[in-house]
Amino acid sequence: MKDSIRAALDRFYRCCGLISAIFVVLMTLAILGQIISRLPFVDVVFDAVEISGFCLAASLFLGLAYTLKVGAHIRVGLLVGVLPTRAKRWVELWCTSVAAALTAYASYHAALMNLDSWKFGDLSAGLAAIPLWVPQLAMTFGLIALTIAFLDEFFLVLSGRPVEFRDSEALDVEEILKAPAPLKPRNA
Amino acid sequence: MADLFLTAAVLGTLLILLASGIWIGAAMLATGLVAFLFTSAPAGSLLASSVWEASWGWALTAMPLFVWMGEILFRTKLSESMFHGLAPWLERIPGRLLHVNILGCGVMAAICGSSAVTCATIGRISIPELKRRGYDEGMAIGTLAGSGTLGLLIPPSIMMIVYGVTAQVSISELFFAGFLPGAMVIGLFMAYTAGWALLNPGRVPVSDRSFTFVQKLRASQKLIPVALLIAVVVASIYSGVATPTEAAALGIVGALGLAIATRTLARDMLIDSLLATVRTSCMIGFLLSGAAFVTVAMGFTGLPQTLAAWVDGFALSQGQFIIAMTMLFVILGCFLDGISMLVLTAPVVLPMARAQGIDLLWFGIYIVLVVEMAQITPPVGFNLYVLQSLTGKNIARVTMATFPFFFLLCIGVLLIWYFPGIVSVLPASMRG
Amino acid sequence: QAATSWVMVSGYPDNNYVTENIREFIKEVDEKSNGELKISLHSNGSLVKMDNIRRAVQTGQVQMGEIRLGSYGNEDPMYILDNVPYMTKDYKQAWVLMETSAPYFDALMAKSGIKPLGYQPFPGQGFFTQAEIHSAVDLHGKKLRIYSKVTQEMGQKLGATAIILPFADIPQAFATGMIDGLFTSAQTGVDIQAWTNSSHFTYVGAIFTKTLLGVNKEAYDALPENLRTIVDEAGHSLTERAWRKSEEANQGHIAELEKNGMKTYAPPADVLARLTSVGQELAETWKAEASPEAVAVLDAYRARIKQ
Ligand code: NA
Ligand code: NA
Q: Which of C136, C191, C189, C183 is nearest to C163 (CA)?
A: C183
Peptide bond into C77 cis (omega under 30): no
Q: Is the CA virtual torsion A73, A76, A82, A84 positive or negative? A: negative
Contact residues for B10 (Cβ-Cβ < 8 A; gap 6+): B31, B34, B35, B303
CA of A86 to the centre of ligand 2 (A): 28
Judging by beta carbons within 10 Å of its beta carbon (0-12, 13-18, 19+), is residue B358 exposed, middle or buried?
middle
Q: How many domains does chain A have?
A: 1
Q: Is the pLDDT of residue C142 over 80?
A: yes
Q: Which domain holds residue A81?
A: 2-164
What is the Å distance from ligand 1's center to B226 Cα?
A: 14
C153: nearest CA in chain A? Answer: A45
Establish if A188 belongs to a structural domain: no
By the 8 A CB rule, do C162 and A44 touch?
A: no
The pLDDT assigned to A186 comes to 38
- pLDDT per residue, tens digit, chain A (188 aa), is 778 999 999 999 999 999 999 999 999 999 999 888 877 777 777 888 889 999 999 999 999 999 999 888 888 877 787 889 889 899 999 999 999 999 999 999 999 999 999 999 999 988 888 999 999 999 999 999 999 999 999 999 999 887 766 555 566 666 666 665 433 333 33
Q: How far apart are CA B108 and CA B247, in angstroms?
A: 18
Residue A171 lies in a domain: no
Pick the residue with more confidence: C262 or B225?
C262
Give the C-alpha separation, C265 to C201, whole Å.
7
Q: Report residue B89's pLDDT band, with 50, 70 and 90 as the boundaries.
A: confident
- Of A14-28, B198-212, B355-369, C119-133, the range with the lowest mean pLDDT is B198-212
Q: If you ran DSSP here, which 8-state letter would residue A172 be given? A: H
pTM: 0.90
Mean of the per-residue pLDDT values of chain B: 88
Q: Mutating which of C164, C209, C289 best tests the A interface, going by the most A Cβ atoms within 10 A?
A: C164
C93 CB-contact burial (10 Å; exposed 0-12 / middle 13-18 / buried 19+): middle
Check residue C205 and give its pLDDT: 84
Half-sphere exposure of A114 (CA within 13 A, CB side): 17
Direct distance between the N- and C-terminal alpha carbons of chain C, in angstroms, rounded to an integer = 52
In angstroms, rounded to a whole number, what is the distance separating the alpha carbons of residues C160 and C180? 10
Note whether residue A10 is domain-resident.
Answer: yes
Asked if B168 contacts C50 with a C-beta cutoff of 8 angstroms, the reply is no
Region at B80 (left for phi over 0; alpha for psi -120 to 50; beta for the rest): alpha
What's the burial of B420, exposed, middle or buried (CB within 10 Å: 0-12/13-18/19+)? middle
Residue of C73, C74, C112 with shortest CB distance to A120: C112
Question: What is the spatial distance between Cα C295 and Cα C116, in angstroms, rounded to a whole number?
Answer: 21
Phi, psi for C32 (deg, rounded to 5): -65, -30
Chains A and C form CB pairs within 8 A to the count of: 29
Three-state SS sequence of chain B: CHHHHHHHHHHHHHHHHHHCCCCHHHHHHHHHHHHHCCCCCCHHHHHHHHHHHHCCCCHHHHHHHHHHHHHHHHCCCHHHHHHHHHHHHHCCCCCCCHHHHHHHHHHHHCCCCCHHHHHHHHHHHHHHHHHHCCCCHHHHHHHHHHHHCHHHHCCCCHHHHHHHHHHCCCHHHHHHHHHHHHHHHHHHHHHHHHHHHHHCHHHCCCCCCCCCHHHHHHHCCCHHHHHHHHHHHHHHHHCCCCCHHHHHHHHHHHHHHHHHHCCCCCHHHHHHHHHHHHHHHHHHHHHHHHHHHHHHHHHHHCHHHHHHHHHHHCCCCHHHHHHHHHHHHHHHHCCCCHHHHHHHHHHHHHHHHHHCCCCHHHHHHHHHHHHHHHCCCCCCCHHHHHHHHHHCCCHHHHHHHHHHHHHHHHHHHHHHHHCCHHHHHHHHHHHC
Peptide bond between residue B379 and the one before it cis (omega within 30 degrees of 0): yes
Look at residue B144 in the predicted model and tell me its pLDDT: 92
Choose the mutation target among C42, C143, C172 for the interface with B, i.e. most B CBs under 10 Å: C172
Between CA B241 and CA C146 the distance in angstroms is 18
pLDDT at C256: 92
What Cα–Cα distance (Å) separates residue A91 from each residue in A83, A165, B11, B286, C303?
A: 9, 10, 20, 21, 74
Residues B197 and B397: beta-carbon distance below 8 Å: no
- Of B168-177, C49-58, C88-97, least confident by mean pLDDT is B168-177
In one-letter notation, the amino acid at residue B362 is W
* CA-to-CA separations, B371 to A120, B51, C107, C247, in angstroms, rounded: 45, 25, 53, 48
Chains that touch B (3 or more CB pairs under 8 A): A, C
Residue B351, pLDDT > 90, answer no
Note whether B29 and B287 are within 8 A (CB).
no
Residue A20 lies in a domain: yes
Per residue in B36-77, pLDDT (tens digit) is 999 989 999 999 999 999 899 888 998 999 999 988 987 887
Determine the average pLDDT of the residues in B293-301: 90
Crossing angle for the helix pair A133-158 and B43-54, nearest 10 degrees?
Answer: 110
In 3-state terms, what secondary structure has residue C176?
A: coil
Alpha carbon distance C199, C253 (integer Å): 15
Average pLDDT of the segment spanning C92-99: 95
Going from the Cα of A34 to the center of ligand 1, the distance in angstroms, rounded, reads 25
- Within an 8 Å CB–CB cutoff, is residue C39 touching chain B? no
Asked, for residue A123, whether it belongs to a domain, the answer is yes
Q: Which residues surround ligand 1, an ion (CB under 5 A)?
A: B 109, 113, 151, 154, 157
From the list C48, C60, C174, which residue is nearest B42 (CB)?
Answer: C60
Mean of pLDDT values over B228-245:
82
Chain C nearest-CA residue for A39? C178
Nearest-Cα distance to chain C for B84, in Å, is 39
Task: Give the closest ligand to the alpha carbon of residue B377.
Answer: 2
Beta strand pairing call for C143-146 and C181-185: parallel
Residue A11 domain-assigned (yes or no) = yes
User: How confident is the model over B133-182, as pLDDT tens digits?
Assistant: 889 999 999 999 999 888 888 888 888 988 988 888 888 889 989 999 99
Tell me: the pLDDT tens digits for B373-411? Answer: 888 888 777 788 778 878 888 888 889 999 999 999 999
Q: Please state the ipTM of this predicted complex.
A: 0.90
In a domain, A172, yes or no: no
Q: Edge-to-edge, what's the strand order for the sheet holding C143-146?
A: C161-164, C143-146, C181-185, C125-129, C200-205, C263-265
- The predicted pLDDT at position B385 comes to 79
Kindly state whether residue A103 falls inside one of the protein's structural domains.
yes
Please check whether residue B235 touches C, CB under 8 A: no
Confidence at residue C233, expressed as pLDDT on a 0 to 100 scale: 97
- Maximum mean pLDDT: which of B317-321, C21-25, C49-53: C21-25
Q: What mean pLDDT do residues B1-13 have?
A: 85
- Answer whether A187's CB lies under 8 Å from B113's CB: yes
- C193-198 CB contacts, 8 Å cutoff, 24+ apart: C193/C260, C194/C128, C194/C257, C194/C262, C195/C257, C195/C260, C195/C261, C195/C262, C196/B431, C196/B432, C196/C171, C197/B432, C197/C128, C197/C130, C197/C171, C198/C128, C198/C129, C198/C130, C198/C174, C198/C262
Q: How confident is the model at residue B332 (pLDDT cuts 50, 70, 90)?
A: confident
Between the alpha carbon of residue A138 and those of residues A20, A56, A129, C55, the distances in Å are 10, 10, 18, 19
- Is A129 touching C (CB cutoff 8 A)? yes
Residue B183 near chain A (CB below 8 Å): no
How confident is the model at residue B210, as a pLDDT? 77
Q: Which of A34, A44, A47 to mutate to test binding with chain C, by most C CBs within 10 Å of its CB?
A: A47
Q: What mean pLDDT is predicted for residues B257-262?
A: 90
Which pLDDT score, from 0 to 100, does residue B250 have?
A: 92
Per residue in B198-227, pLDDT (tens digit) is: 998 888 887 767 788 888 888 888 788 888
